[in-house]
Amino acid sequence: DAKTTQPPSMDCAEGRAANLPCNHSTISGNEYVYWYRQIHSQGPQYIIHGLKNNETNEMASLIITEDRKSSTLILPHATLRDTAVYYCIVRDTIMGSGYALNFGKGTSLLVTP
């Protein structure tokens, strides 16, 4: 799987949009971009994933650049409960079902009142 680079930490004011960047410059055509988050002492929570097109669900939006070398996860109206470590993962689904997810270090997002 391609390597990802994320800033170690970010702050966001409650109610504002949180934009979390991820660089994956070596991504290949078969690789999806996945985002998870982990709130302290809990299991990772799936947020969203995409291949080429921008994606939106009830939790967030995922913007992938045209060259696919980077992406941004957007939490449109951050709340205090969004404080967590956010992981950007690039995964080749052609590798098969048993492929472990490489979570890396992620971005620690702090949402402040």
Residue 28 binds other proteins (CB under 8 A): no
Name the segment binding other proteins (CB under 8 A); options: 4-12, 14-22, 66-74, 95-103: 95-103
Of 5, 25, 28, 45, the residue at the interface with other proteins (CB under 8 A) is 45
Residue from 8, 42, 58, 113 touching other proteins (CB under 8 A): that is: 42
Distance CA 52, CA 68 (A): 7
> How far apart are the C-alpha atoms of 66 and 16, rounded to whole Å?
26
# binding residues, other proteins (CB under 8 A): 22
Name the minimum Å distance from CB 55 to other proteins. Answer: 10
Among 9, 25, 79, 93, binds other proteins (CB under 8 A): 93
Note whether 103 binds other proteins by CB under 8 A.
yes
Amino acid at 95: M
Q: Which residues of 81-110 are buried (b: 16+ CB within 10 A; e: fewer)?
A: ebbbbbbbbbbeeeeeeeeeeeeeebbbbe
Q: Report the C-alpha gap between 32 and 94 in whole angstroms.
A: 10
For the chain, how far is it from start to end, CA to CA, in angstroms? 37
Q: Is 74 in the site for other proteins (CB under 8 A)?
A: no
| Residues that bind other proteins in the complex, under the rule CB under 8 A | 32, 34, 41-46, 49-51, 93-94, 97-105
